[in-house]
Amino acid sequence: MTIHKEGYTTLAWSFIIFALLNLLSFYFFSFEAPVLSVIVFVVTLGLLLFLVSFFRLPKRPLTINENAIVAPADGTVVAIEEVQADEYFPDRRIQVSIFMSPLNVHVNRNPVSGEVAYSQYHKGKYLVAWHPKSSTENERHTVVYRKGNKEVLTKQIAGALAKRIVNYLQAGQEVKQAEEMGFIKFGSRVDLLLPLDAKIKVKIGDKPLGGVTVVAEW
């Protein structure tokens, strides 16, 4: 396991703050209130370990399959439904939504190989990620992948805690399946909009792994 590049600055400052807080705690409390000093250490260490875990980048065997659409994110499948597309597509699509808790790996990956036909950032609200309107009203970044005559749309959606969406893709770019698409900091969700004839391979409650789990086939 390694640390993702998006975490370098955050973790550097976190280590500095951790060290300063515990030095001050030891200086002021270690003799007169040793229990308080221990509590400060345990709490700050817990927060530091949480941040390290949040930015982890585990090694895993990624799925490369031209007939498969792989999960763009780790998390839990919270919605599988037919919807009217609100962006790019004029027709109806199957939406698969993956909720990412703060404990999940937060790297987002390309569900398919192909050309980036569309890449657009949208400002918006910070509703909780499972809110029905978060897909259309929250801050989000939409990417459409084109593979031959087929297209897949992904949305990185900010939530109540997620305040920064990072996306590395630009329109016209050629990308490979399971490579990094971006990163969402501190929990949110990713939506997939698939063709109606896609064969869905997951169900509500499943816990896919980004770049590994096959969500659908076409």
Q: Give me the pLDDT at residue 118, please.
A: 96
Q: Give me the pLDDT at residue 160, please.
A: 62
The pLDDT of residue 137 is above 70: no
**Residue 106 burial class via C-beta count within 10 angstroms: exposed 0-12, middle 13-18, buried 19 and up:** buried
pLDDT digits (tens, 9 = 90+) for 26-59: 888 877 888 888 999 999 999 999 889 888 889 9
Cβ atoms 143, 88 nearer than 8 A: no
Find the catalytic residue in 25, 134, 135, 188.
188
Cβ atoms 175, 169 nearer than 8 A: yes
CATH of domain 68-217: 2.70.70.10
The pLDDT of residue 161 is above 80: no
Determine the average pLDDT of the residues in 171-175.
96
pLDDT band at 133 (very low <50, low <70, confident <90, very high): low
- From 124, 119, 121, 72, select the one nearest 98 (Cα to Cα): 72
- From 191, 85, 82, 88, select the one nearest 146 (Cα to Cα): 88
Which of 172 and 29 is assigned the larger pLDDT? Answer: 172
- From 88, 67, 71, 89, select the one nearest 80 (Cα to Cα): 71
Determine the average pLDDT of the residues in 185-206.
91
Token pair, residue 120, equals 């657009």
pLDDT band at 130 (very low <50, low <70, confident <90, very high): low
* Domain-wise residue ranges, the chain: 2-57, 68-217
Least confident piece of the model among 111-120, 121-130, 171-180? 121-130
Percent of the chain with pLDDT over 70: 91
Q: Give me the pLDDT at residue 103, please.
A: 86
Cβ atoms 108, 182 nearer than 8 A: yes
41 membership: H or E segment, kind and range:
helix 34-54
Determine the average pLDDT of the residues in 106-126.
90
Cβ atoms 13, 48 nearer than 8 A: no
- In order, the DSSP letters of 127-188 are --TTSTTHHHHB-EEEEEEEETTEEEEEEEEE-SS--EEEE---TT-EE-TTSEEEEEESSE
Q: Is 188 a catalytic residue?
A: yes
Determine the average pLDDT of the residues in 120-128.
75
d(CA 108, CA 179): 8
d(CA 56, CA 75): 15
Cβ atoms 100, 106 nearer than 8 A: yes
Q: Give me the pLDDT at residue 172, please.
A: 94
